[in-house]
Amino acid sequence: MAGNARTGSPEGTVPAVGGGASLAGEAALLRAAVAALAPVIPLLRELGERFDAAGHELALVGGPVRDAFLGRTSPDLDFTTDATPDETLAAIAGWADTHWEIGREFGTIGLRKGAAMIEITTYRTDVYDRASRKPAVAFGTTLADDLVRRDFTVNAMALRLPSLEFVDLHGGLADLAAHRLRTPATAEESFADDPLRMMRAARFTAQLGFVVDESVREAMSARAGTLAMVSAERIRDEFVKLLLAPAPADGLALLVDTGVADVFLPELAALRLEVDEHHRHKDVYDHSLTVLEQAIALEGTTPASRAGLVASSTVRNAGGSAGGSGSGSPADGADAGGHSGADAGADDAGRDTAYPVVTRPDLVLRLAALLHDIGKPATRRFEPGGGVSFHHHELVGARMVAKRLREMRFDKETVKAVARLVELHLRFHGYGDGQWTDSAVRRYVTDAGPLLERLHLLTRSDCTTRNARKAARLARTYDGLELRIARLAAEEELAAVRPELDGHEIAAILGIKPGPVLGQAYKYLLTVRLDEGPIGKAAAAERLREWWAARQSGLDGDPAAQQGHKSGRTAYPLQVGDN
């Protein structure tokens, strides 16, 4: 199909594509494009006629054309023209509702017409500095010159206006039908112009289900190191778009296989060398991608839907299972993972749990799922007898995640949240068959804080065993834990647990002023509250006086240490992401 141009009609006449069954896919795409563009055809013609009257060319180009063939409506409309920015401003004068000139230096004028957001860019024939990647902006004179500099053939299709002539000089429609990703120019040349295009190739793989042409894969492998000249912020933005796509594992695999990931996330490829002690049939890299896929499948679910229960029965069922093992059988129809599908609890969001439902797509959950075992390479030990251990990999991994995400210029809240989830992702494995006391359950909830629902999904997703009985047992056990949490939350407002005396009351009882000592007293009462549940203000005041007397007598005044010694519990002091 390369080298041809086709004309189409807004009234539904599909342009001819030639004979043969091999072109049936292209014909279907053309029909989808006619339907998708129909609502905006009047606007396209109107704008095209204004440029035509002024003696200029205008074409719809790039993503909006590609999306139309996929049957999707693009929220933004991108146009290209031989008009200069000044000539574009003259053409839209009195027509656009408003306009802006932020991209004028690069030939782009932005405007709004009704609900449509529009960008019009002068034909470009940029020449790139191959050392710095900075372009020397040069305006072109033909549509062909503009299309050949675009990233992929599926983005190098255009619709001339107002004639609605479809222009496909590089076989983009055939590639779209074949779900194939190629470049208009040679892949080496394209990636030399902008190394970030290698990240975009992986993103389109994840977003659209495309497979890269072998020439693209080879060029990515050959030029992977040149991504280092791109700013961390641009790399992060492309990585986020990939991770939030429907199938990020496919794009991530492409980045790892070609070596591109080594430039900005070398820890991911390093996981291929580490054998997971629980899943020796595959390495930790494959395990991490599976965990990511399973976490995505759980986005949008609730504790009730994951346990195969109706929302209204959550607390009632929790009360019946909280006394012993804390485990219950999923309802008939739930799978071995204890849930009934990603959308099972969406309509009941917020009604069966005190914690916000994790909606799709969730960046924090996906980052944590991908990177939860990042600490294993640094903690691997070969044990006598041939075993392999990764002791404290969750703590080491939390620090590594925080460091890597900061280097990628993620915001502080995202860094802190992802690192905390990595730190906590093994905590559930101390639950056994439900032996935790209510005190331990409260502490689990309090340590997770607002990340509790994400921790639920991450922990469930981390089970990738092929042993169906083991998977079902773990799912039932976690069902029991979630239902116990629901019961305690309903009884004690667990999501907002606080000491039963506030700071003013503590200061009044002890006769002290605000400061570090008051903070220690507050922490002590919080520990009492977590370990024993509500005991009433009078009992809390008495316990506070006992603590104060012990402190005044020269005993250990560390409330956490005192209470930890009394209850025999294990402390988890590490807080990552705060530095």
pLDDT along the chain (579 residues), means of 10: 40 38 68 87 96 97 93 90 96 95 92 95 76 69 93 96 94 94 95 94 96 97 95 96 96 97 95 58 82 94 69 36 31 31 35 68 97 86 74 88 97 96 88 78 88 93 86 86 83 71 90 89 87 87 90 60 39 35
- Say what the pTM is: 0.75
Query: What number of other Cβ atoms are within 10 A of residue 397's Cβ?
Result: 27
Contact, 494 vs 354, CB < 8 A?
yes
Contact, 370 vs 292, CB < 8 A?
yes
Return the structure tokens found at 244: 């939030």
Query: What number of other Cβ atoms are within 10 A of residue 496's Cβ?
Result: 8
pLDDT of residue 344: 32
What is d(CA 65, CA 159) in angstroms, rounded to the nearest whole number? Answer: 7
Q: What is the residue extent of each domain of the chain? A: 4-178, 187-255, 270-496, 503-567
Contact, 488 vs 441, CB < 8 A?
yes
Please give the full DSSP string across 527-561, using - where no structure is assigned. HHHHHH----HHHHHHHHHHHHHHHHTTS---HHH
What is d(CA 237, CA 229) in angstroms, rounded to the nearest whole number? Answer: 15
pLDDT of residue 539: 92
Contact, 248 vs 206, CB < 8 A?
yes
* CATH-assigned architecture of domain 4-178: 2-Layer Sandwich (3.30)
Nearest alpha carbon to residue 121 among 162, 43, 45, 60: 60
Residue located via tokens 């909006």: 64
**Bridge partner residues of 122 (DSSP):** 81
The H-or-E segment that residue 80 falls in is strand 76-81
Domain 187-255 has what CATH class? mainly alpha
- Cα 96 to Cα 52, 88, 100: the distances in Å are 16, 11, 10
Question: Between the CA atoms of 314, 319, 324 and 330, what dihedral angle is there, to the nearest 10 degrees?
Answer: -20
Residue located via tokens 């939350």: 489
Q: Pick left, alpha or beta for residue 210 (phi over 0 → left; psi -120 to 50 → alpha; otherwise beta).
A: beta
- Cα 477 to Cα 252, 317, 328, 384, 422: the distances in Å are 32, 14, 7, 31, 21
pLDDT of residue 475: 86
